[in-house]
Structure 1
Amino acid sequence: MTTLHLSQKEVSAMTKDSVAELAKRLEQDAYENAFEGLKDWHLLRAVAFQRPELVESYVHLLDMESFDEA
């Protein structure tokens, strides 16, 4: 089994346009297999944590909800 590794450099290289293309692929969900879609989802999630300003319009694709653990 291969492990997905996203480097800081890869996330830093993302631009507004590349994030928009990534989100478009995720919205269309026309991947040849589930693992390709999962890789894109993990990349978008990494960008959301490290560069949230780029993902503001696409948070709905991440199913991220805040939880009150108190």
Structure 2
Amino acid sequence: MGESGQELISDYCGAAETTFREDLKMKNMSIYVCRELEAVRIIIEGIPVVTHLGNLAKACCLLLGLTYALT
């Protein structure tokens, strides 16, 4: 997709909810990770499309599938 891993995967532990929501609206695709709550979500165009994934590896696999399905 051309992005670096740092742009694709965002760790928002301890951040205010408004902070990460505003940041995620700016990205086309992103994986949201909060290790404290074990929350892993896939965000597309600022909207959470898959939630409660449990781990980053599963999120990466599903994001590849979603990318393939959407193109």
Mark yes or no: TM-score above 0.5. Answer: no
Q: Which has the higher strand share?
A: 2
Structure (1 or 2) with the larger CA radius of gyration: 1
TM-score with structure 1 length normalisation?
A: 0.31
Q: Which has the higher helix share?
A: 1
Of structures 1 and 2, the one scoring higher in RCO (CA 8 A, sep 6+) is 1
TM-score with structure 2 length normalisation?
A: 0.31
